[in-house]
Homo-oligomer: A and B are copies of this chain.
């Protein structure tokens, strides 16, 4: 039997442990633990001694050990599709702020729309024993999810996610905002409106497209098949889709895009082909990323609040993690959307109001007051 021996393989001197504090304060480690965790019954004077000991030795609780014994890591996974799409950093920031406020840390990962990567990512998160995962993208294998659901592992999805009961989901009201967008265009006199979708494996991309179709038909407006073109939720996709649209016999007078990056691509594509926005063609985006108000022309777009999205996601996760939280049984959170009108939409060229406009060089029509 080997006698007691110190572990010698560590890289650096370990920092003070709970035992150092206990010794210094002249109490047991249990008392230190209770003090640190704010557990009711520690005599005030003892607590005081413990706290000063903590300060003196510079004690910081070891998260790994805590997690190991408690089975909880206070780590939240956040899966997004593409960290380089500006919408997600904004979401990440909100999510992180809220998480930290509530004592959690965030493990972020992006999937690049790759199901294999997604699966791997979620596994890595599980391996780091996150307490829950918010999945803000599509394409995760049913099988893995099923396993997690069976284990009652806390998860939230945006837009129904997989068809499974007992899954917490953030329902984004795409219809609301997109209907506003379509009606805004219709009110300006547009009849011929095209839509550039996101990658159609994504549920949220399908949802947005369907919302568009529904809003159009509500107004009795028809949408020729070739006016619905699939993009990729990137600027490149927007440019390509624009080219397709421009080759058409009957060009649309307005384009609604499934997200802002696509719309920015469209703006670029139209400029390249000397079409003026909004005078020749109106463009509407979706998301309302910060950048939207700074592109030229400032983009009319449907706002989806990432603040709301983030806070709902965290609520949903915590509801699954901490039993006895008020909304422990809520399984749906709804996220509203609404139109923000800026300068990328106007009357269709040749319409009466457009002709009435007196600005000769619309592009340079100063916003300068």
Using a CB–CB cutoff of 8 Å, the interface residues on chain A facing chain B are 7, 9-14, 60-65, 67-73, 83-84, 86, 88-90, 92-93, 96, 100, 105-110, 123-124, 126-129, 151-153, 235, 264-265, 267-268, 271-274, 276, 290-291, 294-296, 321, 363-364, 366-368
Contacts and interface: CB of A to CB of B under 8 A. Distances in A.
* Chain A binding surface SS class: mixed
A93 B64 contact: no
Number of copies: 2
Contacts of A105: 107, 124, 128
Contacts of A129: 62-64
A253 to B, nearest CB: 19
A296 B294 CA distance: 11
A86 B86 CA distance: 7
Given A108-B108, A128-B105, A151-B13, A84 B366 contact: no
A268 to B, nearest CB: 5
Contact of A9 (B71, B89, B128): B71
A298 to B, nearest CB: 8
B65 A68 contact: yes
A279 to B, nearest CB: 12
B60 A294 contact: no
B61 A127 contact: yes
Nearest to A13: B151
A349 to B, nearest CB: 15
A108 B105 CA distance: 10
A277 to B, nearest CB: 10
A127 B64 CA distance: 9
